[in-house]
Amino acid sequence: MSAETKTELTTVYQVKGMTCGHCEGAVSSEISAIAGVSSVTAVAKTGEVTVVSDAPLDRADVAAAVDEAGYELV
């Protein structure tokens, strides 16, 4: 029986316009919908959004998700 090695990639994005917990939730929810994303942590105070995925994400997909939430990927 072989064990599969799962590699996770962590990427930090800068998002402009988040000011509160609701903003963090909206951005996290939209990015979480991207295929391959396993977790998202958004911090309004710093504007940083940390995304853990099983493969590199297309920046255009992340930008579209952030835009859908009403914010801007820097």
Residue-by-residue DSSP string for 2-47: PPPPPP-EEEEEEEES--SHHHHHHHHHHHHTSTTEEEEEEETTTT
> In this predicted model, what pLDDT tens digit does every residue of 33-54 receive, in sequence order?
999 999 999 999 999 999 999 9
Q: Is the pTM of this model over 0.85?
A: yes
∠ Cα 22 24 41 (to 5°): 150
Whether the Cβ atoms of residue 16 and residue 48 lie closer than 8 Å to each other? no
> In this predicted model, what pLDDT tens digit does every residue of 4-31 receive, in sequence order?
567 899 999 999 999 999 999 999 999 9
| Residue 72, token pair as written in the block | 């801007």
CA distance 25 to 69: 9
